Amino acid sequence: MVAALSLIIVCSAQSCQTRPQVVVYHTDALSVVLRELPTGYPSLEPYNHSYTIQPDEVRDILEHVQYEAGSLIPFSGKQSRLVFTRQQGELVAPVISNALRQAAPQDVVEFSLADQERPDRRTKGLVFILHDELHLIIEELRKPVYQGEPNTYQQPVPRWELLPGDRQRHYASRQEGKGTITNWIIIPLR
């Protein structure tokens, strides 16, 4: 009886585990994995994976994504900047294209990309395809990665949000466009 109960508990525990991450690419500059969408985001699966999109198309999309950042200096206004440099786009685009071809319907592509000028800063995000639209979520933007002892003080980071371009939009949790998530943009592919 105890052995049967133990077997049921072990089997149940294994079925509760999330699907393991699949490493697609890993270097010091770039890491790309397939995984489930992290908790806290609305579940939209199944996604339209596997999906074929050319690396050049991914690069063109990424190289035009902009964000607007507030300043730490009062009354200085906001500035728009590119999320990815051309070199970063050239590095990450073929890997994301390959990952989308490998992805299962429940997978998203997660990437972590080192900043070229300051490799101790990383941009992390998620990509998936739904209804011929590329969804791009930027979770961390040039965030410092500290190793060793944790710092007790960090300079405040200005708030930022992605700026949708032509035919792009923020994800909205309600049909009427309310409840937008400003670090998530949707880009039509057709």
Residue 145 is predicted with a pLDDT of 79
Q: Is there a domain that residue 2 lies in?
A: no
Q: Is there a domain that residue 3 lies in?
A: no
Report, as ranges of residue numbers, the positions in the chain whose pLDDT lies below 70.
1-18, 71-77, 146-158, 176-177
Q: Are 116 and 171 in contact (CB under 8 A)?
A: no
Q: Is there a domain that residue 41 lies in?
A: yes
What residues make up the domain containing 99?
19-146+156-188
Q: Is there a domain that residue 42 lies in?
A: yes
Nearest to 182 by CA among 47, 68, 45: 68
Token digits of residue 170: 């923020």
Residue 71 is predicted with a pLDDT of 57
139 by DSSP, 3-state: which? Answer: strand
Q: Are 49 and 133 in contact (CB under 8 A)?
A: no
Residue 12 is predicted with a pLDDT of 41
Domains: count for the chain: 1
Question: Chain-centre distance of CA 85, in angstroms?
Answer: 16
Note the pLDDT tens digit of each residue in 87-126: 999 999 999 999 999 999 999 999 999 998 888 899 999 9
